[in-house]
Structure 1
């Protein structure tokens, strides 16, 4: 008995050790026993999941609160992910990923495993790590055990695909989820994400309809007010102003921020202008006055004036609209967010309402200089600007060459006097600009820049404002200078790399020419002597400068027959291209007709005559007028492709054939000029638009030739095979097969 009691402590210790070992074994992350699962569920939830979830929620809240909204554009339903914008919350997201990763590393049997992976996917999505986010969401959908968690992962997958602009896969996931029994949270997130997909695709009516179905599941708050504002924008864009107004009114009932409330009011007024509700339109004037007088709107006056201009434009009062738009630009101050869109609207009015393309170009240039390249309007604006650049170029060519040709016919004495007057006028303008610059320097040094006459005159067009008042022109000028000249110090003779050479060329003032330079006068000489020397230098420099300017003018005037022929050729080409620009790019047949007629009158033997006849026929036909151009074309040029096009039935004719022919000629001209890379790019982009036209196989053959020139023999052979496959009935097929045989021989010899 004594031995039993003597050994009892040892037995107790062994028993405790055995129980602890069993407990630890039973708590393995791979065990399915209740004690083990309970331990890992508890540990995973509070030591990892909750921390990671809260960090991601906080990061999302920070990104939402610090977002920069461009209310001049359609707001995105979900904030697009951006790795740069997420940099401030990157440490939180990294820590959230680290915490959530503890669960798959240490708690495999926890019920929070799928949720942890979803958190990792969300964090990677916010960091714009889209490939890894997509992989994580796919993994949860494949390996997950909870249907709700799998659905949540698929909603995240939809979002990730959308951010990657992979809309096809995003919609495939959406179509699958549409058939699944989703819980309330997943249903809400599914609808919002699907609406975001359609908004990104430009399907605004669908996006608005989906948002309407989502609002019953949303609580009042800033995010809901923002979605109501977006729904109103979407309905505005789809031409449903009454529905838009209803959503703008709901913004005010959803606990909005001041900005959301302000813009909802502005947008509602804009929509009222579309409904034609005269009573509400009359009330809008008082509303505008109240907004402008409200001190809280001191930094938002540019938006108010912009809306006032928009309403005037919609009511056909174009000049008044332009005036309000200019006031908007003046009121913008340092905040230039609205300015490019205001310039764009003024440009549209000059382009679409006034058909003043030169002024439209000026405003479009200014808009593009300030507009972010990621703006949805940027690409369309750039295309229109290129068209207007061409327009101004052709008009300038015609005007300049005609002026020079007229000068060449003038009496020499009268011409010399005219040039003197031109130079004198230019000197006066330069002096006025210099005086104005001096005022700016003096008043700016006294801190009174705004007191300079005209410095902030927003009624001037961008090209009418002096360059130092126009930040757009100033920026463009600085950039053009640095491209041409590099970074040059501010000094005299900055163009010259050799200052001694510049002094030798300076004229009579140079000591090398035996003259007396102002710099040769001693600084200790009497004041009268210095003044006389400076005055002499100034007079001599002015005389030399005028002579140089006059010589430069004379050099440009085409006095010889050869120079006049070249000038006329430039006018002829410009008239031809300007007419086509009016017809196709600007869709102004009424302007194209007199341009083409002027071309035929001035240059009756132009090589473009058959095409011009055809385009005159189409332009008159487009305006519903009868003309004799088709008959003239068939009578004078019956064997041309233009005659064949004009002779087709009405059902077969149209602008498609004309555009195809014009495009083909442009590509062929590039090919003849040995600009084969550009020609191939144009051919690839245009081939689909040639479908069904008579020139389709011809362009395809030209593309084959261009591929051979640009991409080598292998690509050339492949393109030949594609032609034979796609155009088995083409009359060009024998030629293409001969080309195929030659290419095969080249390949065989190379081997």
Structure 2
């Protein structure tokens, strides 16, 4: 009998464990196991991961801090094991405790795990599902707030607004209310709506207990006030950071912001000398540079930014600021190009300015190449006007200077502290007969070797004539021309007495004959034009472009680039200024059929009316009819008339292309080629551009 009761009790206990049962005992059993087993373990892992996130998160204090930091995908990758374990533990509740009251909590944890892994697509689906399976206000509100944050991260503000309106209708706990208000403030911050962002932060902050979170929000509030020019309110917010039990890192940057607002470089100098700020010295140098930059003391700004750029994690950003300083304020473009190159090298791929910095590097590298090409040809022309004695003197001075530099480098590279010093007795007269024991003979031999061979690296085949190109490159960059040294130049230098092989090699690269000088001048003419055009159109530097293009027209009157140079000078001049009117007049008088004249008319007249567009259409049809009838001269005349009468019409690309074809029909191939090139440059997005490129390629191939 007792055995029968025991079996019945066991059967009742087993039936109570079923996750399909809705009996109170079964539900209580599964609630207990779900909450204090899987959910408890998953929640503990979640809190640990949240703590790690803030420990590993690096703030960019130079930019506006986001109220809710974006999830970094690298964090999800580094902690994938723990995140997967959160999801796995939460999934146990769904698999084994379906009748418990914690299934919605399990799905919320799974959604959070996907959110922190930046798997937004699946996280969104999970949070949406939570709201469809249960009406528990607690889990529903939590999942909706996460849903709201994801939409903001994705900049899907329309969906975020709908979710936000729904959240406002719910009865939230104080913690959930704070989380929602913070998310709401982040929503307005992401939309750059600063006034509602400030209002929400001022509402939230007093309800928070002192700690890192509260201090961080005070810092953001200070940044917001500062961005609006409300410096006094910003100073008050930064002062409250210290009173909120902030970390030293946050306190340091709050103090830094205060001194910058107060324009107090002397306070920053004091901070540099404090041992506790040793790791923050680059940031202090950067802040000092910003203060002097705002005060228009550009040389001091350069000095401190250069010091800050020698170390620290912000090297890329500091080099970018230096590049901007040299480009925009100091107008030292070659230096700007070098700093932009360094900025692109050191800029973190995660930095907001990474893509734009890479683009700046490419643009300014092109500028540097064009600038070097101009300098190279100019140097060659200057050297060609010097006498042999002047060239020899220049060579020897440069060689001695380079020798001193090499000696100083060797001296610096000697690790004195590790050098073992050997002492020996002075060599006897008999021993001094050996060359290496005789100091005087050895020094004299070094000098004789240097005079004959120049600087030579200790390597195989050191005595070949073409080994010593270093000096040549330091006097003038002849890399593009050394391979083109012609037989004429060699003949011209046969009468020159050879002082040394290295000197003779260098002299052979300097143009002397009329043909060589003509080639150098043509290269300089083209390089000047390309540089001036690039500076105006790509860099937008009107003043520098004007200097270069004026030099082109002065040094090379009648240049083949004159029409376009006048057009670029027109663009670089102040509107309606005498200079602009002068360039316009010259272009219109000297080049009445040039396409650049039509571009100026288009700028001045704007778009055409509908009536004029119809008139242009009819005129184009007449011109095209003449072209089909092989009346190329008349077709070309009519095209020119259309361009002058209807500048900026919708058919402009067709008219210009037809005019180019007319030159081909007339067998005026130079004009044909030039007009095709101009068409490709002027209308890169025209459907006719592909055909124009094919015609130009075919003509060039047949010509060669």
TM-score (norm 1): 0.66
Indicate the residue corresponding to 1:647 in structure 2: 601
User: Is the CA contact (8 Å cut-off) linking 1:205 and 1:235 kept in structure 2?
Assistant: no
Residues 17-42 of structure 1: CA distance to partner in whole angstroms, max 9, x if unpaired? 33432343244212223222222112
- What is the rounded CA distance, in whole Å, between the counterparts of 1:212 and 1:359 in structure 2? 46
Once the two structures are TM-superposed, the CA of residue 138 in structure 1 deviates from its matched residue by 3.5
* Corresponding residue to 2:540 among 578, 587, 592: 587
* Corresponding residue to 2:335 among 359, 378, 388: 359
Residues 97-149 of structure 1: CA distance to partner in whole angstroms, max 9, x if unpaired? 22211100111122111111111222233334444434433432443433442
Deviates more, 1:64-73 or 1:206-215: 206-215
Indicate the residue corresponding to 1:3 in structure 2: none
Residues 480-521 of structure 1: CA distance to partner in whole angstroms, max 9, x if unpaired? xxxxxxxxxxxxxxxxxxxxxxxxxxxxxxxxxxxxxxxxxx
- What is the rounded CA distance, in whole Å, between the counterparts of 1:57 and 1:696 in structure 2? 66
Indicate the residue corresponding to 1:228 in structure 2: 218
Give the number of equivalent residue pairs.
563
- What is the rounded CA distance, in whole Å, between the counterparts of 1:260 and 1:551 in structure 2? 65
Indicate the residue corresponding to 2:389 in structure 1: 417
SS in 1 for 2:67: coil
Change in CA separation of 1:649 and 1:321 when aligned onto 2, cut-off 3 Å: closer
Change in CA separation of 1:623 and 1:150 when aligned onto 2, cut-off 3 Å: farther
- What is the rounded CA distance, in whole Å, between the counterparts of 1:444 and 1:106 in structure 2? 73
Once the two structures are TM-superposed, the CA of residue 254 in structure 1 deviates from its matched residue by 1.9
Q: Is 2:348 aligned against 1:372? A: yes
Q: Is 2:305 aligned against 1:325? A: yes
User: Is the CA contact (8 Å cut-off) linking 1:72 and 1:338 kept in structure 2?
Assistant: no
User: Is the CA contact (8 Å cut-off) linking 2:286 and 2:318 kept in structure 1?
Assistant: yes
Indicate the residue corresponding to 1:632 in structure 2: 586
Q: Is 2:42 aligned against 1:52? A: yes
CA RMSD of aligned residues (A): 3.8
SS in 2 for 1:573: helix
Q: Is 2:529 aligned against 1:576? A: yes
Question: 1:7-46 residue pairs with structure 2 within 5 A?
Answer: 9=1, 12-46=2-36
Once the two structures are TM-superposed, the CA of residue 82 in structure 1 deviates from its matched residue by 3.6
Indicate the residue corresponding to 2:375 in structure 1: 399
Indicate the residue corresponding to 2:86 in structure 1: 96
Residues 465-484 of structure 1: CA distance to partner in whole angstroms, max 9, x if unpaired? xxxxxxxxxxxxxxxxxxxx
- What is the rounded CA distance, in whole Å, between the counterparts of 2:316 and 2:296 in structure 1? 22
Once the two structures are TM-superposed, the CA of residue 242 in structure 1 deviates from its matched residue by 4.4
* Corresponding residue to 2:155 among 164, 167, 171: 167
Q: Which runs of 5+ in 2 are unaligned?
A: 420-430, 455-467, 469-499, 608-646, 658-685, 693-704
* Corresponding residue to 1:343 among 287, 305, 319: 319
Change in CA separation of 1:285 and 1:643 when aligned onto 2, cut-off 3 Å: closer
Question: 1:113-512 residue pairs with structure 2 within 5 A?
Answer: 113-160=103-150, 166-168=154-156, 171-180=158-167, 181-182=169-170, 183=172, 184-193=174-183, 195-196=185-186, 211-237=201-227, 239-272=229-262, 281=263, 284=264, 287-329=267-309, 332=311, 336-410=312-386, 414=387, 416-443=388-415, 445-446=417-418
Once the two structures are TM-superposed, the CA of residue 263 in structure 1 deviates from its matched residue by 0.6
Deviates more, 1:637-646 or 1:73-82: 73-82
Change in CA separation of 1:358 and 1:286 when aligned onto 2, cut-off 3 Å: closer
Q: Which runs of 5+ in 1 are unaligned?
A: 1-8, 273-280, 448-523, 654-691, 703-731, 740-751
Change in CA separation of 1:271 and 1:564 when aligned onto 2, cut-off 3 Å: same
- What is the rounded CA distance, in whole Å, between the counterparts of 1:103 and 1:293 in structure 2? 58
Change in CA separation of 1:358 and 1:197 when aligned onto 2, cut-off 3 Å: farther
- What is the rounded CA distance, in whole Å, between the counterparts of 1:611 and 1:80 in structure 2? 49
- What is the rounded CA distance, in whole Å, between the counterparts of 2:123 and 2:234 in structure 1? 35
Deviates more, 1:400-409 or 1:203-212: 203-212
TM-score (norm 2): 0.70
Once the two structures are TM-superposed, the CA of residue 526 in structure 1 deviates from its matched residue by 6.3
- What is the rounded CA distance, in whole Å, between the counterparts of 1:615 and 1:127 in structure 2? 53
Change in CA separation of 1:398 and 1:616 when aligned onto 2, cut-off 3 Å: same
Residues 607-659 of structure 1: CA distance to partner in whole angstroms, max 9, x if unpaired? 33322222222222348445322122222333333212322474628xxxxxx
Deviates more, 1:353-362 or 1:174-183: 174-183
Change in CA separation of 1:425 and 1:255 when aligned onto 2, cut-off 3 Å: same
Change in CA separation of 1:307 and 1:43 when aligned onto 2, cut-off 3 Å: same
User: Is the CA contact (8 Å cut-off) linking 1:174 and 1:194 kept in structure 2?
Assistant: no
Residues 247-270 of structure 1: CA distance to partner in whole angstroms, max 9, x if unpaired? 322322321111111110111222
Indicate the residue corresponding to 1:64 in structure 2: 54
- What is the rounded CA distance, in whole Å, between the counterparts of 2:36 and 2:319 in structure 1? 56
